Structure 1
Amino acid sequence: MQENQVPQPALNTPAPRDTAFAPDSLVLNRKLPLWYQVSQSLRASILGRTPDATLRLPTEEQLAAHYGVSVLTMRQALKELETEGLISRHRRRGTFIEPRARRGSPVRLLGSIDAIVAQQSGERSTLLDHGPVPVPGEVAEFFPDCAEVVGYRRLRCEEASGEPTNWAQNWVHPQVAAGLDAADLDRWPMTKVLRDRVGVPISRITDTVEARLADPATAELLDVPLLSPILYYTGVTYDESGRVVDVAQIRYRGDRFSFSVTVEAH
Structure 2
Amino acid sequence: MLTDKLPLWYQIAQILRAEILARHGEEPERLPTEQQLAERFAVSVITIRQALKAIQDEGLIVRKRRHGTFTDPRAFPRRPLKLLGSIEAVFAQQASEETLVLERALRHPLPAALKRHFPNLKEAACFRRLRLDDGEPQSYAVNHVLPELGRRISAKLLRTHSMTQVLREDLGVRIRRIDNSVEARLCSPEVAKLLSIETLSPVLFLTGISYDPDNRVLDVA
Q: TM-score w.r.t. structure 2 length?
A: 0.59
**Does the 8 Å CA contact 1:213/1:229 hold for their aligned counterparts?**
yes
Identify which of 208, 219, 224 aligns with 2:181. 208
* 1:129 paired residue number: 103
Q: Could you say what secondary structure the match of 1:142 adopts?
A: coil
Determine what percentage of the aligned residue pairs are the same residue.
39
Identify which of 110, 118, 125 aligns with 1:150. 125
Change (3 A) 1:48 1:143: same
Q: Could you say what secondary structure the match of 1:196 adopts?
A: helix
Change (3 A) 1:243 1:220: same
Equivalent-residue separation in structure 2 for 1:202 and 1:139 (angstroms): 19
Q: TM-score w.r.t. structure 1 length?
A: 0.49
Change (3 A) 1:44 1:186: same
1:151-190 matched pairs, under 5 angstroms: 151-158=126-133, 161-190=134-163
Equivalent-residue separation in structure 1 for 2:211 and 2:187 (angstroms): 28
Q: Paired residues, what number?
A: 144
Change (3 A) 1:42 1:232: closer
Q: Could you say what secondary structure the match of 2:114 adopts?
A: helix
**Which amino acid counterpart does residue 222 of structure 1 have in structure 2?**
L
* 2:116 paired residue number: 141
Change (3 A) 1:200 1:121: farther
1:62-141 matched pairs, under 5 angstroms: 116=89, 119-122=92-95, 123-131=97-105, 132-141=107-116
* 1:262 paired residue number: none
Equivalent-residue separation in structure 2 for 1:195 and 1:138 (angstroms): 26
Identify which of 183, 188, 193 aligns with 2:166. 193
Gaps of 5+ in 2: 1-35, 45-86
Equivalent-residue separation in structure 2 for 1:45 and 1:214 (angstroms): 26
Change (3 A) 1:171 1:121: farther
Change (3 A) 1:121 1:247: farther
Q: Could you say what secondary structure the match of 1:202 adopts?
A: coil
Give the CA deviation at 1:121.
4.3
Q: Could you say what secondary structure the match of 1:120 adopts?
A: coil
Give the CA deviation at 1:128.
0.8
Give the CA deviation at 1:124.
1.8
Q: Could you say what secondary structure the match of 2:158 adopts?
A: helix
**Which amino acid counterpart does residue 42 of structure 2 have in structure 1?**
L
- Per-residue deviation, residues 93-130 of structure 1 (Å, max 9, x unmatched): xxxxxxxxxxxxxxxxxxxx9x8277134322111111
Change (3 A) 1:48 1:169: closer
- Per-residue deviation, residues 33-90 of structure 1 (Å, max 9, x unmatched): xxxxxxxx799279369xxxxxxxxxxxxxxxxxxxxxxxxxxxxxxxxxxxxxxxxx
Gaps of 5+ in 1: 1-40, 50-112, 249-266
Equivalent-residue separation in structure 1 for 2:109 and 2:182 (angstroms): 25
Give the CA deviation at 1:217.
1.1
Note if 1:242 corresponds to 2:215: yes
Give the CA deviation at 1:179.
2.3
Identify which of 201, 210, 216 aligns with 1:228. 201
Change (3 A) 1:46 1:128: closer
Change (3 A) 1:120 1:140: farther
* 1:44 paired residue number: 39
Give the CA deviation at 1:181.
2.0
Equivalent-residue separation in structure 2 for 1:135 and 1:144 (angstroms): 10
